[in-house]
A = this chain, B = another copy of it.
Amino acid sequence: MPHNHEAKFIGVAPLNLASAEHISFLINDKYFDECLKTQAGALVCSKKTAELLYGQTKSILLVSQNPHAAVAKISQFFFKPKHPFSGISHQAMIDETAEIHPTATIFPFVFVGPGAKVGAQTVVYSGCFIGATSSVGADCLLYPNVVIREGCTVGDRCIFNPGSVIGGDGFGFAATEKENVKIPQIGGVQIANDVEIGANTTIDRGAMADTKVGSQTKIDNLVMIAHNVVIGEFCFIAAQTGIAGSANIGDRVIMGGQVGVAGHLKIGNKSILTAQSGISKNIPEGQMWGGSPARPFKEHALSLVALNKLAKSNKKSS
Contact = CB atoms under 8 A, between A and B. Distances in A.
A72 B174 contact: yes
A102 interface: no
Nearest to A67: B174
Interface in A227-257: 234, 236, 238-240, 242, 244, 257
Contact of A168 (B95, B162, B180, B240): B162
Contacts of A162: 129, 147, 149, 165, 168
Nearest to A11: B186
Given A127-B129, A216-B180, A239-B224, A303 B311 contact: yes
A52 interface: no
Interface in A29-49: none
Given A72-B182, A93-B108, A132 B314 contact: no
Interface stretch (A1-9, A54-62, A109-117, A281-289): A109-117
Interface residues of A, number: 107
Specify how many copies of this chain sit in the oligomer.
3
B240 A224 contact: yes
Interface in A64-110: 66, 68-69, 71-73, 75-76, 78-79, 81-82, 84-85, 89, 91, 93, 95, 107-109
Contacts of A260: 240, 257-258, 275-276
B275 A257 contact: no
Contact of A310 (B69, B239, B307): B307
Nearest to A240: B242
* Top 7 closest pairs, chain A to chain B, by CB: A84-B113, A168-B199, A129-B144, A68-B174, A69-B174, A111-B126, A147-B162
